[in-house]
Amino acid sequence: MPVCPVCNGLREVDLICSHCGEHMNESGRLMDYYDDYSPYMEIDLMKMEDGYQDTKSGHKCPHLYSCPSCQNDKVIFINE
pLDDT along the chain (80 residues), means of 10: 87 95 92 62 55 54 94 92
Q: Which amino acid is at 7?
A: C
19 vs 52: CA distance, rounded Å: 26
In terms of pTM, does the model score above 0.85? no
43 vs 71: CA distance, rounded Å: 26
DSSP summary character for residue 16: B
CB neighbours of 29 closer than 8 A, spacing ≥ 6?
Answer: 4, 7, 39, 43, 61, 62, 63, 64
